[in-house]
Amino acid sequence: MSAKKEKTWLTRTKRPIVIAGPCSAESENQVMETAKRLKTTGKVDIYRAGIWKPRTRPNSFEGVGVVGLPWVKRVKEEVGFPVTVEVAKASHVEQALSFGIDILWIGARTTVNPFAVQEIADALRGVDIPVLVKNPINPDVALWIGGIERLEKAGIKEVGAIHRGFSNHGEKYYRNRPQWHIALEFKNKRPDIPLINDPSHICGRRDILQDVGQKAMDLDFDGLMIESHIDPDNAWSDAKQQITPETLGQMITEMALRQDFEDVLPMQGELDYLRSEINHLDDELINILGNRMAVARKIGSYKKDNNMTIYQPKRWKNIMDKGSKLAETNQLSDDFIKALFEAIHIESINQQEKIFKNK
């Protein structure tokens, strides 16, 4: 394990360090207006804007490209924010550096690819610039740390990490499941690296942003990266999760922050750390059960439409047998897993019964 965290360029101002700005730079006016209004809140330290956007599917807006860099440069010069953009390949690095961008970040879809991260690291050899590395889209701490090590080996002195959650098929509540225990594992392995939470990409929606950001503060993250747009509903990317600069200012104002956490840290023993891990795993369990019941309700509708009975003994026996085997490999007793699955089954049946009665 590395040494305890030193104050770095990324964390020296205050805790939490707040990085905010639009998902994507869309126009010079939108970039400047967002920056000015964020400045007015007095809550933001660093301005972000996506210039090149890695999108899941083609034909989505893929960023304005290099024409947006002078707009971001204007934010730095006229509004006074240090500025950060996402880079995904060597040419992005060169262009960003030529426009005086202060900090670079590597996106989740790039961190998964060691070739891409290495290409960026090589382009940065001999350059003194802080780089933030988002977690890879898959829950793999080694890959996340590996990306950071590639930059460190290339001589980058200030590296930060961004926790933006992990993609998960069937997830309903979050856009990217936070899996807080993975962020905590990262923190445990690399306590020297500033860790920033990105509630925007975890939530994918506005109504739970504050809750997720607060959770990150309670877990002693160093900062937050939050997307903000002057007209969120009409944003060209990630519209559902963006908030106005004023809402963002309010959100940060309302957060309960333990400012002098460093002083309290020695008293925060192993037990507190483990308890917070348990609390977040419990939250995950409840969210997973919620997702499971949503699928059960869909099955309920199908059974109803096809005149099938709710209780299907053969299917249930299969579930139990499979559960018992997996329980054994996880050091869980057979009695426990059976009791747990009985309870889940009863809830599923109740939810399906409601569907049968409702329609």
Q: Are 317 and 261 in contact (CB under 8 A)?
A: no
Return d(Cα 214, Cα 216) in angstroms, integer.
5
Rounded CA gap, 100 and 122, in Å? 19
26 binds Mn ion, rule: CB under 5 A: no
| 50 binding ligand PEP? (CB under 6 A) | yes
Question: What CA–CA distance (Å, rounded) separates 53 from 100?
Answer: 20
Applying CB under 6 A, the span of 76-84, 101-109, 145-153, 247-255 interacting with ligand PEP comes to 101-109
Query: Rule CB under 6 A: is residue 164 a binding residue for ligand PEP?
Result: yes
- Residues paired with residue 84 on neighbouring β-strands, in sequence order: 48, 103
**Part in contact with ligand PEP (CB under 6 A); list of ranges 3-11, 106-114, 205-213, 216-224:** 106-114
**E strand or H helix at 161, and its extent?**
strand 159-163
For 105, the enclosing helix (H) or strand (E) is strand 103-106
Identify which of residues 23 and 219 has a Cβ nearer to Mn ion in the complex: 23
104 near ligand PEP, rule: CB under 6 A: no
- Closer Cβ to Mn ion, 176 or 276, answer by number: 176
Segment contacting ligand PEP by CB under 6 A, of 107-115, 120-128, 301-309, 341-349:
107-115
Q: Is 232 in the site for ligand PEP (CB under 6 A)?
A: no
Which of 178/300 has CB closer to Mn ion?
178
229 is an interface residue for ligand PEP by CB under 6 A: no
- CA distances 276 to 63, 173, 177, 196, 272, Å, are 38, 21, 17, 18, 6
Residue 238 Cβ vs Mn ion, minimum distance, rounded to whole Å? 4
Question: What span, in angstroms and rounded, lies between the C-alpha atoms of 208 and 194?
Answer: 24
Binders in 239-278 for ligand PEP, by CB under 6 A = none
According to CB under 5 A, which one of 18, 19, 23, 116 is a site residue for Mn ion? Answer: 23
Among residues 88, 224, 238, 243, which is the contact residue for Mn ion, using CB under 5 A? 238
**Whole-angstrom distance, CA of residue 191 vs CA of residue 173:** 29
Residue from 23, 64, 69, 355 touching ligand PEP (CB under 6 A): that is: 23
Cβ closest to Mn ion, residue 11 vs residue 200: 200
First to last CA, the chain: 58
Contact letters (x/-) for ligand PEP, 120-159, by CB under 6 A? --------------x-------------------------
Output phi, psi for 84, to 5 deg: -135, 140
Q: Measured between alpha carbons, how far is 117 from 149 in angstroms, rounded to an integer?
A: 10
Please identify the residue of the shown chain whose CB is closest to the bound Mn ion: 23
Of 250, 256, 254, the C-alpha closest to 41 is 250
Residue 249 interacts with which of Mn ion, ligand PEP, none, CB < 5 to 8 Å by class: none
Beta-bridge partners for 342: none
CA dihedral (90, 94, 99, 101) positive or negative: positive
Which residue ranges make up the site for Mn ion (CB under 5 A)? 23, 238
Binding site for ligand PEP (CB under 6 A): 23, 50, 54, 107-109, 134, 164, 201
